[in-house]
A and B are shown apart, each in its own frame.
Chain A
Amino acid sequence: MATKLPKVPVVVVGMGWAGGIVASELTKAGIQVVGLERGKDRNTSDYAMGHDELRYQHREELMQDLSKETITHRNNEKMRALPMRDYGTFIVGDGVGGAGSHWNGQTYRFLPYDFEIKTLTDKKYGANKLKPEYTIQDWGMTYDEIEPYYDTFEKMAGISGETVELYGKRSNPYPTGPMLKTPIMNMFEKATKNLGYTPYIIPSGNLSESYENPDGISRAACQYCAYCENFGCEYGAKADPAVTVIPVAKKTGNLELRTHSNVIEILNDGSKASGVIYVDTITGEEFEQPADVVVVASYVFNNARLLLNSGLGKPYNSADGTGVIGKNYCYQVSSASSMMFFEDKEFNLYGGAGALGIEIPEFVGDNFDHSEVNFIHGAGIRVTQYGNRPIANNVVPKGTPSWGAEFKDQSIKYANSFFPVKSQGASMPYRYNYLDLDPTYKDAYGKPLLRMTFDYTEQDRELVKYMSKVTHKIAEEIGADIIDTNEEQGDFNVNKDTNTHNTGGVIMGADPETSALNSYLQMWDAENVFVVGASAFPHNSSFNPTGTLGALSYRAAEGIQKYIKEGGSLV
């Protein structure tokens, strides 16, 4: 039997970027917030031994404990979904900071095209450019409307970057200048300029210089130490909720942060929530936390799962395309790439940063003509320098064995002499790619796991074929001794793919029939529930999602304050 606690104005589920931003904005405005986080509290001293590749990257120290909960996956409805028992593909954060602690820091904005993708695609290419199974839809908000929130997020996080002509208009330049350029970035810059493109340095949440944000938080510059993705930053140079918004919220005295508190249900009567039930993961004790407003701000998967397990919102039904919870799950397509090997060049690839890289804007969104191709949207084509840690980076030319004498010799020979021209492609929603509850498998608390039904679509495969040619052309212009180009997008493999940008399931939009949330991320079906995160994206762009997730979190925080004052539906 759950212990009932005193009612609070706002309860926030999850203390990553989404929950941290909401908590920070509300507590600054004098609103009392209870933050529930299933993992532990964290700060920079947790990372004193942070440069440990095995512990953080291969034993997933900062990630969700899969023995307690995971997802199940099947490629299509004919298959039986089975649990992802171990990490292979995406990584799901845990603890204060969430994915905002282990992320790389690449902080883009989505394009004006993204927010009105349906309208603009139909207008330019006609209504039949894509088959009707591709459920693209507008976001219920334009780029111009979201721009101020991007600006706020970038100033809070101190994003380092340079203005790109081919992207949406900015009201302000980036708060800090771009990251350093390394020799491999210079090679990409020269080659792409020769080919007529306009390369730019990837916008970064790893600070290029020391910076004080509008909340008065000061952070030091990035040291390019090479431990970003999967790791926490011991300098606080990487923007992380645990060193930005959460300390700000704590300082107000209005945030009560409860860690090791795993929310398993949102109490509701179908049209309004009255609070949440959570389990203390250390003692096993159950609590009921009543609240006027419930903010669901966990990872994509758990946002959808919590709503489905709580009977909140209408579950998506792929048979007739009705319902919304679980709809438009998207991923990204990253298979197009050209790996380059150099015989007599060695680069200082042991150093780097999670958001150190260079990219061209010519092949994203509708920046190139799609009349003659069988896909829409596109990919960022880029070279990055994260720092090549040795367990993960044993790259050898095609045809080399994966173990033994030749493998060892070749992997050492090229240890500092390879880098790829990579791509990261947009993912379009598809009627039969979705999230629902698994009929068989349960989590440690007896609740059904989330079932993912997902495979790459024809659109994805066409996109990869096209982009692989672009990567190859650039690699040839750079002039490597060996170029191995991957042109095919295989089937989605839950243990092999490497992209970790999951989106959708609880999407925003202008119409309650086709979306779960309005543009304040307020549920159409329950006015005092806000569902914040990349789960709100109606499709996934080619860019890393955190910038857009951060902007939407500020938008939601504004909406929640408005709701507390005025009540009712905000749109």
Chain B
Amino acid sequence: MAEHENGKISQRGSTRRVFLKNSGLTVGGVVLGGALGSLLGGNSEPASHTAPAAPALTVNPAEALMFFTPEQYQLTQAAAERIYPKDDNGPGAMELNAAIYIDHQLASPWGINSKEYMAGPFYKAEETQGSQIRILRKDLFLLGLKSLDAYSSKKFESNFIDLAPEDQDLVLTDFSEGKAPDISGVKSTLFFNLLRSMTIEGVYADPVYGGNKNMEGWAMRKFPGSRMTYTQEIQKEQFVKLDPQGLNSHMSH
């Protein structure tokens, strides 16, 4: 079941890539012009130039990029989906917009490690000392994406996004175990850990951050989000299922 669904997703990603390639909209890897929005929306119809329709109510204006190129975004979607795939429980990272979340986080002060101690010197750390690298998260992530493709090409003669899900898992396993080549001098595990933790955050953080679309990440695990009181529920023997509420519900208070 899971594999079937994942196959579909991979195919969809691949279709977008083919469209990008064939549509002549890219020059030297840069996507041109106003068709970008419709490409990312998964809609290959050219946008109308004369009378733009009012956006449908379901359109989320935050569902847009502030950091990735479209290709980087799609690669991130594909990788995140393998960390947290669609299955019988519900949607995977791709549908939950984890890659939108990752894009927005990497564009934020967190992406440039603004609250970390970044002064040198940078010595090699013992196991117990935490990471001691100078590379910023936003750079590590982009280098990691590049490395994902390079390693996939070496191992399977294909870009990561076009691999079968099982092969994508093999590539990611090698990254997680540090068996893929070092990335600018750091273990591939470091990139993998960043991808993994950001994917989990992207499916479970409040929707204000761009992921956890429609709070479906929360709904899968019956997590009610940020309600104001559970005094009654915590005393009950039976499980009490509550619909999730986000931070947005506190805006009226």
Contact = CB atoms under 8 A, between A and B. Distances in A.
Binding partners A and B: yes
Interface of A: 48-49, 51-54, 58-60, 65-67, 69-70, 73-75, 79-80, 82-86, 88, 180-183, 222-227, 346-348, 350-352, 356, 385, 387-388, 390-391, 394, 402-405, 408-409, 411-412, 415-416, 440-442, 491-495
A493 B130 CA distance: 8
Contact of A223 (B127, B228, B235): B228
A79 B126 contact: yes
The 4 closest A-B pairs by CB, nearest first: A351-B230, A51-B226, A495-B130, A223-B229
Contacts of A394: 200
Interface stretch (B30-38, B46-54, B152-160, B203-211): B203-211
23 contacts: A52-B206, A54-B201, A75-B128, A80-B123, A82-B129, A82-B130, A86-B113, A86-B131, A180-B231, A222-B231, A226-B230, A348-B239, A350-B222, A351-B233, A351-B234, A405-B87, A408-B84, A408-B85, A415-B221, A415-B222, A416-B221, A493-B127, A495-B128
Given A75-B126, A494-B130, A84 B117 contact: yes
B8 interface: no
A385 B115 CA distance: 30
Given A54-B206, A60-B115, A348-B239, A403 B230 contact: no
B222 A416 contact: yes
Contacts of A404: 82-83, 85, 169, 172
Contacts of B253: 48
Contacts of A48: 250, 253
Interface in B100-135: 110, 113-119, 121, 123, 125-132
Interface in B214-253: 217-218, 220-231, 233-237, 239-240, 242, 247, 250, 253
A348 B233 contact: yes
Contacts of B84: 403, 408
A346 B247 CA distance: 25
Contacts of B221: 390, 411-412, 415-416
Contacts of B228: 223, 225
Contact of A67 (B88, B115, B125, B172): B115
A405 B129 CA distance: 31
Contact of B234 (A66, A88, A385): A385
Contacts of B224: 350
Contacts of B113: 67, 86
Contacts of A84: 117, 130
A536 B110 CA distance: 35
Given A86-B116, A416-B239, A494-B130, A223 B196 contact: no
Interface in B163-181: 169, 172, 176
Contacts of A494: 128-130
B247 A49 contact: yes
B2 interface: yes
B89 interface: yes
Nearest to B236: A348
A222 B229 CA distance: 9
Contacts of B87: 405, 408-409
Nearest to B84: A408
Interface string B66-85: 00000000000000001111
B217 A85 contact: no
A440 B239 contact: no
B201 A82 contact: no
A457 to B, nearest CB: 15
A70 B117 contact: yes
Nearest to A75: B128
Contacts of B239: 346-348, 416
B235 A52 contact: no
Nearest to A390: B204
Contacts of B125: 82
Contacts of A403: 82-84, 172, 176, 196, 199
Contacts of B85: 404-405, 408
A412 B220 contact: yes
A224 B127 contact: no
A53 B247 CA distance: 10
Contacts of B117: 66-67, 69-70, 83-86, 441
A537 to B, nearest CB: 24
A66 B233 contact: no
Contact of B218 (A79, A80, A390, A409): A390
Given A391-B205, A402-B196, 15 more contacts: A52-B247, A66-B115, A73-B128, A82-B129, A86-B130, A224-B231, A225-B227, A227-B226, A352-B230, A404-B169, A408-B85, A412-B220, A491-B128, A495-B129, A495-B130
